[in-house]
Amino acid sequence: MKIAVDAMGGDHAPDAPVKGALAAIQEQPSLDVILVGEPAAIHRVFNPLPERVTVFPASQVITMEDRPVAAVKTKRDSSMVHMIKLVAGGEAVAGISAGNTGALMTAGLLSLGRMPGIERPALSAILPVLQGWGVMLLDVGANLDPKPSQLVQYALMGSVYCEEVFGMARPRVALLNVGEEAGKGPPLIREAYQWLKSTSLNFIGNLEARELLQGKADVVICDGFSGNIALKLTEGVARDIMSQLRRVMLRNWTTKLATLFLKSGLNELRTLLDYQEYGGAPLLGLDQPIYKCHGASETKAFRIAITMAHQFAVSGSQQRIKERVVGEETNG
């Protein structure tokens, strides 16, 4: 199976996407990768490429500063647009990019369309928790002003994805809110709360932001504005905590000695807080699988994301998610 990778998207392109692809094919014998981008730039990273890694030429790049809709329409020879089209045309079973999120969603909607029964796709993110596998947060930026029905659809997609990919039985679903009480929050959240109570999902109610990383829920639903703030705050706090720890531990010879005894625990904490360990997250609701990597993703993140996308495609989970979503919508 072939995975298409936008080799020009992200802060560390093309080095990180190319090296991530090379590492991924070493782990997955049945995986082939199509690197989409400027051939000369790709070959400067590694040449000659292995037989299972091919290059699809693209002369343009959609930058983080580009306006999403305009960029997708005017930069038709961009690496991101061609990556999406390879998936739409069946030449790849999934696509990956660390580029402009808005443009990726726009290109996905124009070329792939929405999954049946879904009004608006959502961008998800996997966050670390203090105990447990993690938590899937969605939406984290695709839809800033959703309807209550769309939040319910996010909950359904996130729940089914966790069942399919992480093997969970009845994932716990919560709404991100300012309090645990059912009557709290804006009308959007209050209406979604009542709607979710009537579904077959394992809905556990509201969850405050301070409990987001405590492992109390497996899927947490919110609008894209709140979700993006929560995601970036979490990333910033994790970065600053590790920076402060390094400063304290290297302060003098006593703290350096203490660091030697704490090394394994500090390494465990660093791994827990490192978003690179989570690879990428799916744009749930598109008709075919597209994964979004963090803009600052390095080789490890691309390797993990490519492997995740490959395993997702091999498992047939996308089709089962479609069937479950349509079934729930019909029953609802």
The total of other beta-carbon atoms located within 10 Å of residue 162's CB is 23
The total of other beta-carbon atoms located within 10 Å of residue 311's CB is 15
pLDDT tens readout for residues 25-47: 999 999 999 999 999 999 999 99
What are the structural domains of the chain?
1-116+285-315 (3.40.718.10), 119-282 (3.40.718.10)
What string of pLDDT tens digits covers the 332 residues of the chain?
A: 899 999 999 999 999 999 999 999 999 999 999 999 999 999 999 999 999 999 999 999 999 999 999 999 999 999 999 999 999 999 999 999 999 999 999 999 999 999 988 999 999 988 877 777 789 999 998 888 999 999 999 999 999 999 988 889 999 999 999 999 988 999 999 999 999 999 999 999 999 999 998 889 999 999 999 999 998 888 787 777 777 777 877 788 787 777 777 767 666 656 655 556 656 888 999 999 999 998 889 999 999 999 989 988 888 888 888 888 877 654 55
Nearest to 180 by CA among 155, 217, 148: 217
Q: Give the integer Cα–Cα distance in Å for 177 and 108.
A: 30
Calculate Rg over the CA atoms of the chain: 20
Is pTM, for the whole model, over 0.75?
Answer: yes
Nearest-10 crossing angle of helices 299-315, 15-27? 50
Q: Give the integer Cα–Cα distance in Å for 274 and 272.
A: 6
Q: What is the pLDDT of residue 330?
A: 47
Q: What is the pLDDT of residue 241?
A: 76
Q: Give the integer Cα–Cα distance in Å for 61 and 83.
A: 12
Q: Give the integer Cα–Cα distance in Å for 32 and 51.
A: 9
Q: How far is CA 326 from CA 118, 139, 153, 322, in A?
A: 9, 20, 11, 6
Residue 219 near residue 174, CB atoms below 8 Å: yes
Three-state secondary-structure class, residue 46:
coil
Q: What is the pLDDT of residue 187?
A: 93
Residue 254 near residue 167, CB atoms below 8 Å: no
